[in-house]
Amino acid sequence: MLADRRRLQDLLHYIQRFGEHNISLLKQLTGIENVEEIIKGLNILVGPSPRFSRLDLSLFHTVIRLSRRSFLRPVDFYYLLDGFITAALRDSLSPNTVLLSVVFPYDKWFFVQVFDRLEEVGLVEDYRVFREYRREIFPIDFSTFDFDGLKFSDDFILNSPRFSFQLPDLADGFKPDWYDVVILGKRQEDPLRSWDDIGRDIGLSGNDVLFHYFDHVVGRGLVDAFYAYVGRVDFRISLLVHDVNDEIVRELTRIPTLLRVSYLHNDKMYFYIIGQDHMFVKITEFINTLSNNYGFAYDLYLHPITPSMNFSVASSIPYEHFSKEGKWIISEEELLNVFEKELARIKKENNVK
């Protein structure tokens, strides 16, 4: 049983490195013959992590404080920003706080005018925007995971730090085309969707979609890793640390479900953590202990996964704005026009004049 558990841990480790579709490689690396059966039996959900720099996109972590009279929901920000977000997260500990992961064409900042307008109309009190300049991805450590009960043990904090892993950037001058970007986006939207289904949307055969995905999206470094989820995920934590310190990062990686650290301008770090309900108290106690030991200040935001749309909204890269000529198409005027139209719609839905 111990050997079987160890091999399952290895399988999940390699899936987070290479994805779940190269079955022959996974068999070779783990010695497991029934890889496909295990993936299906455990309902392992795998999603690609885009390498934004290779897509000419920048990621901005944005913290918004809503006004008391604001009626905006997390999902509303998706429409107000014309789809240029990958996450909209309400804090259940302070429900007037919303965090956004804004992805926008490289070196363009005019999306902040949306937040300025929301301040002008009294729906937002203030906001802060932090640009990511570097990131590290950490595969989930399943060494304390019970594969029968599909949950982490109560004693899940690891004894030693984890190491980050990212696929190498193999671009070598390669530029993604429209098919590559759209296929990556659609794969994010629904990791279980078949290649044939995606192909029908974009006028390619399933085999051609597969070629673009493996040879370009994965093979040319448009993704830096894969996220693999097993069992229930009850919440997401956004941890904003007001310091940049490698020792803090090392210690925080002992949380086995810490997925990513983003290094931000203005000397801050953002940590993306997921968990199951029974893990929350221990995670927060561990973070507080580290804060005392290393003397750093932090803000912690909790985002329950359910009920859907109430606290956590996830979306793909904004591939709808990528042209057949291989460029991101959005202008300041277009974005603000969309904003005004969507704000009017949202007001009407909430019976606000």
Instruction: Write the pLDDT tens digit of every residue in 130-167.
Output: 999 999 999 999 999 999 999 999 999 999 999 998 88
pLDDT above 70 for 214: yes
In this predicted model, what pLDDT tens digit does every residue of 236-252 receive, in sequence order? 999 999 999 999 999 99
Burial class (CB in 10 A: 0-12, 13-18, 19+), 263: middle
User: What does pTM read for this prediction?
Assistant: 0.94
| Residue 3 backbone class (left: φ over 0; alpha: ψ -120 to 50; beta: rest) | alpha
Confidence of residue 260 (pLDDT cuts 50, 70, 90): very high
Q: Which of 18-22, 211-215, 318-322 has the highest mean pLDDT?
A: 318-322
Confidence of residue 171 (pLDDT cuts 50, 70, 90): confident
Tokens of 31: 């010695």
Contact 313, 87 (CB under 8 A): yes
Contacts of residue 40, defined as CB under 8 A and 6 or more positions apart, other chains included, come to: none
Handedness of CA 13, 17, 270, 78 (dihedral sign): negative
pLDDT above 60 for 1: no
Task: Give the integer Cα–Cα distance in Å for 205 and 190.
Answer: 18
For 171, phi then psi, to 5°, come to: -60, -50
- The C-alpha angle with vertex 284 and arms to 282 and 286, in degrees rounded to 5, equals 65
Contact 39, 20 (CB under 8 A): yes
Contact 32, 38 (CB under 8 A): yes
Query: Tokens 């890889």 label which residue?
Result: 35
Which amino acid, residue 99? L
Tokens of 27: 């068999």
Secondary structure (H, E, C), the chain: CHHHHHHHHHHHHHHHHHCCCCHHHHHHHHCCCCHHHHHHHCCCEEEEEECHHHHCEEEEEEEEEECCCCCCCHHHHHHHCCCCEEEEEECCCCCCEEEEEEEEECCCCCCHHHHHHHHHCCCEEEEEEEEEEEEEECCCCCCCEECCCCEECCCCCCCCCCCCCCCCCCCCCCCCCHHHHHHHHHHHHCCCCCHHHHHHHHCCCHHHHHHHHHHHHHCCCCEEEEEEECCCCCEEEEEEECCCCHHHHHHHCCCCCEEEEEEECCCEEEEEEEECHHHHHHHHHHHHHHHHHHCCCEEEEEEECCCCCCCEEECCCCHHHECCCCCECCCHHHHHHHHHHHHHHHHHHCCCC
pLDDT confidence of residue 3: 47
pLDDT confidence of residue 318: 98
Contact 329, 318 (CB under 8 A): no
Confidence of residue 2 (pLDDT cuts 50, 70, 90): very low
